[in-house]
Every structure is written in C-alpha cells, then in structure tokens.
Amino acid sequence: MSNDFRPLQGIRVVEMTHMIMGPSCGQVLAYLGAEVIKVEPPAGDKTRHLTGMGRGFFPSFNRGKRSITLDLKAEAGTIALDRLLATADVFVENFRDQSLDKMGFAPSELRNKHPKLIITSCKGFLRGPYQDRTAMDEVVQMMTGMAYMTGPTGRPLRIGSSANDIMGGVFGALAVLGALMERQQSGQGRALRIGLFENCLMLVMQHMVQFDLDGREPAPMPEREFSWPVYDIFDTLDQRQIFVGAVTEGHWQILCNAIGLEHLLEDSRLQTKMSQIEARHWTIPIFAEAIKKRDFTELAEILEASGIPFSPINRPADMYRDPHVLRPGGLQHSMLSGGQVFRAPGLPIEVDGDSPRPASLDVADVGHDTENVLSELGLSPSEVQAASGAVNRRTA
C-alpha cells in the first residue's frame, strides 16, 4: 500500500532547528521514511511554547520525529552530538554561522570529521553581502517586493502564511534527496545551504522577469493589469462571496451562457479576448449583477458543471468542514504528549492513489527519546544525564 511509501527508510536525520524553515525540512524527510531525531536544548525548543499565531508552529512541523535534549553549552553535550552525527546521514540545522563555529560544528569541520554526512543549513541568506543578517519570513517578504506586490500601493502586506519558511524547508529536503542520490555513487556527503531570501526571490521571479522584459514595474496584485476578462470576487444573493474566473475564450462563452448573459456574446465590442479585457470597467458590473441574483450553492453547481474556475472565500478554519479536505487521507491525526489530538494535512502528493505517511505522526514530548538514543551511542546513565542537561535541570 502507498501508506508504506518510505524511500528514506534507514536514513538517519539529526535535526537541530527551531521555528518553521528547518523543522519543515525535517518534516518532509520524516514523511519519506527517514528517522528524524530532533535535538532540543534542555528546556525544549522555545517554539513549543508559542501562543497566538505561533500556536500551530511546533505541532505542525514536528510530527513523527524523535526528541532528545542536549546541553550544548556543556562539553558532555557537544561530545554526545558529535557521536550522534557519526551515526547520521543528514544533519539539518538553522543556527547562525557564528554560533555553529563556536560549538565546533561548522560545516567545514563536520565534513572533515564525517565525510559522508550531508549537512543541510537552513539560513536567511545564501553566501554574499547579507549572509550574516538575521532574517525571518516577513523580513524577506519586505526585502524582495513580495509584501509590496501583496498589499495595495503604500500598504505592503505579508502574505497570510509562512510560505517562505515552508517552501525553503521543502527546497532543503529536495537538496538532501539529490545529495543522497549522489552519495550512492561518490560515497561523499555535501554541505548544503538553503536561503530564505533566495526562496522568496523565486516567488517574486515572475514579477522581476516581467519588468526585465517589458521595462515596466508591475502594479501590486490588488491593482494589477488583468490578463483575463473575468477574474474577480462577487457577492451572491445569500450574501456570500465567490471568486469566478474566465481566462479563455471558451470560458467567456460558457460563463455568459451559464448565468444568462448571452447578449454579451453578440456584442460587437466583445469579440476578442483583448476587447473583453479592455471592457472590464463596464462588463464586470454586469457580471456582478447577474451573479447577485443567485444563491451561492446554486451558482457553485452551475459553475462546477460548466468547468468554470470558482471558489468560495474561505477561512483556514473552514477547511475542517470542506468535503475534499475531509476525504479519506485528506487530514491526518496526530497526538500531543498530553493526549490532545489534532488534525493536519499531509504532503500534497499521492503515491499509487494513496497519501504517504510516516510510521508515526505524533509529537514527542521534550526529550522523550534522549535515554534510548544516547544509550545506543554507548553513553552511560551518568553521561546521558550530563549530556542532556538533566543534572543542571535538577540543581537549577
């Protein structure tokens, strides 16, 4: 069965990250069957304790991982990490370069010690003038023009998701897969670096290239020049909102017939796609009036049967009521250490018609696997306590 799709089974990943970018990289690798050991400080990853908008960060991106604690301020902790890395295939980290250097875990040093290790560094920037800057998703959205393109003029607005962090993590996992394939032939690891800023450049690339080719800066998305006759949000009779798009000549004809606007098909001013786009200032109010005569459900049935792109204007919470999301495999159940269960999407792929998933999707408690993992490395009980910070926690 496809639920057993675990091509990375037998691959050990040591993940020393926080927030979203690094954890999402480890999350993808865990979904593909890797054993992911999350290394946390003695008090646990601070992301565990976020509230409000950050409440979902840790549980979303740390499902199916083992958790150990190491006190990397103590020699016993750094020795234990080094012994752990000697057993690993992949090391995922998102520390500042200087912090890794001070601990003796700079990529260059790790490659000398562990030549087969694939070091995956999730950073704010790739090498260059900004490489030592602190970056966050919102920072790079402001820097690259993403926020400018999202909000109206004068009101830059971050997009409503940590999309750069997540996509950066996916690029990290993609790079790991490539390095693992190469290692099968070369026997050597690689030092990989993934840039959050450069990831956001990929997301605004279409706007950059438009400017480079045409010499004109594109307007922010709320004020964009439309390339389609209908691509708008409308109100329905029952006071709901619906997005409707007609992006081809066929769509235009189908939509006009579907909602009783056949007369527009005979209008001499609307016989080409470009003329339809140029007439938006007077045709869109006509579409709005026709759409407002129908309830949302009726209109949705008409548009779906006609093959017209449409969507309700949903909120994230609405996804827990969406029939497609609720299809078998659409949501996967995970459990927090306290027993609370939550539902979250899996990877957006199917394998042989089914959704892959790791052996476990639960979220481990802080240090849940410390004793087992470190004991397997040959550490004695007292050495486990010293390396994990348990001694310091008891005497603090």
254 conformational bin, left if phi > 0, alpha if psi -120 to 50, beta if neither = alpha
Tokens of 147: 């926020």
Selecting among 45, 89, 165, 362, the annotated active-site residue is 165
C-alpha span between 92 and 122 (Å, rounded): 7
C-alpha span between 188 and 210 (Å, rounded): 41
Nearest to 12 by CA among 64, 88, 84: 88
Can you name the residues that pair with 245 across neighbouring β-strands?
Answer: 231
C-alpha span between 20 and 62 (Å, rounded): 9
The per-residue DSSP string of 27-81 comes to: HHHHHTT-EEEEEE-TT--GGGG--GGGTTHHHHH-TT-EEEE--TTSHHHHHHH
Can you name the residues that pair with 37 across neighbouring β-strands?
Answer: 14, 66
C-alpha span between 35 and 38 (Å, rounded): 10
Nearest to 117 by CA among 87, 76, 151: 87
Active site residue 212: no
Q: Which residue numbers are catalytic? A: 165
